[in-house]
Amino acid sequence: MGLDVRGLHLGLVAYPGLGGSGIVATELADRLARAGHRVYLFATERPFRLPKESPVAFVPVDLPFYPVFPGPLYTLSLAGVLEREAQRLGLDLVHTHYAIPHAAAAYLAFGEGFPLVHTLHGTDVSVLGMDPAFHGPTRRALMAARATTAVSRALALEAERAFGIRPRVIHNAVDPERFRPRPERKRLYAEEGEWLLVHASNFRPIKRVPDLVRAFAKVRRRVRARLLLLGKGPEEAEVRRVAEELGVSPYVAFHPPTPHPEAVLGAADLFLLASEEESFGQAALEALACGVPVVATAVGGVTELVRPEVGRLVELGDLEGLAEAVLELLYSPERERMRRRAREYAMAEYHPDKITAQYLQVYEEALG
Ligand code: GMT
């Protein structure tokens, strides 16, 4: 008989900002807490997507600074908080999201005797995980954990090559109540008769947002369309420059990050993603749940997410191909059917109940 995993005391560790790993951790924490578990979310600030009325308890990780330190010691501070609070709160298990430095911090706090579960999200394996400065301690921490999960098969394979571990694949979830079609909002972002193309990210170079603008300029030569870029980040100035250079800046709009991306995504005709690396593509999943088909680059876990019946995949850097795929989907006789399929697919494969049950199964095994 399985262990009774009702009423667990769980500590989740996350980055609080705009990144997908923090969103995934926060939403999982919220669902677990609403299902009756006592959930404590450890982060340097209250996570951006944690609803005010959430039953999750936020535990701040303070970053004390002493003049002798070269800077704040996040890993050590987190380890100290975890160790202290786990005892005080009677935690049964700690689950970290994004391995660097969370896995090593948890290992430092508890060693091997405590149930630790880690979820790998992307660059914690492919970029930082491979950095010689972080690889050794992260590998040791992951090897010692009771369980490690990865958000896609592509990432699990990468983790196997990088760390010699075999993570279990648990895809990310999307809430279909919240992420649903909102065509009535389209008029807020586009003019009558314009197609609305949306992208959402943290505008890091890896997201290749300037590529999107270049492809959009090709689309715009053929049809009336608007590109709405949701988020903010280091490439914003370059994106504006490219839009200006190509003469499409009047049709490229920026929307600041919002805790309610569903209000924008639900209004779109298509969602675009041109990343050079993407272990999953959470924003693309959110768009699919809104009934919005996706055109994306065929990289990493995006190839698992974007099936032909709900979108199109193009080669990285193939801007002509991207523009063609956009036009094909906008004018496809299958357009309405594809929108319905996108939503049905997201609900069937990535429903929060299904994904939460998979994490609880991992907890059960880790505790057993
Ligand atoms: O790994 C990162 O670059 C950061 C991370 C984040 O916190 O945004 O993103 C990753 O995790 C998301 C949630 O699982 C995925 O949807 C993103 O695809 C993934 N990003 C990359 O792999 C670049």
Is any atom of ligand 1 closer than 6 Å to the C-beta of 149? no
Mean pLDDT of 331-357: 97
* pLDDT of 180 strictly over 90: yes
Pocket test for ligand 1, best of 27, 280, 359 (most atoms within 8 A of CB): 280
Residues 6 or more apart in contact with residue 138 via CB below 8 angstroms: 99, 100, 101, 103, 104, 124, 129, 163
CATH superfamily of 183-349: Glycogen Phosphorylase B; (3.40.50.2000)
User: pLDDT digits over 126-169, tens only?
Assistant: 988 889 999 999 999 999 999 999 999 999 999 999 999 999 99
On whether the CB atoms of residues 302 and 284 are closer than 8 A, the answer is yes
Q: Helices marked H in 35-116 — which ranges?
A: 74-89, 99-110
The size of the chain, in residues, is 368
Q: What is the pLDDT of residue 127?
A: 83
Mean pLDDT of 286-314: 98
Q: Supply 196's token pair.
A: 């609305």
Rounded to the nearest 10 degrees, what angle do helices 282-289 and 20-34 cross at? 60
Is any atom of ligand 1 closer than 6 Å to the C-beta of 26? no
CATH superfamily of 9-173+351-367: Glycogen Phosphorylase B; (3.40.50.2000)
Ligand 1 center from residue 286 Cα (angstroms): 14
User: pLDDT digits over 204-228, tens only?
Assistant: 999 999 999 999 999 999 999 999 9
* pLDDT of 2 strictly over 60: no
Is any atom of ligand 1 closer than 6 Å to the C-beta of 47? no
CA 123 to ligand 1: nearest atom: 1
Q: What is the dihedral of CA 108, 114, 120, 123, to 10 degrees?
A: 0
Within the chain, all domains assigned CATH 3.40.50.2000 are found at 9-173+351-367, 183-349
Mean pLDDT of 249-276: 97
Residues 6 or more apart in contact with residue 52 via CB below 8 angstroms: none
DSSP of 135-171: HHHHHHHHHHSSEEEESSHHHHHHHHHHHS--PEE--
Q: How confident is the model at residue 1 (pLDDT cuts 50, 70, 90)?
A: very low
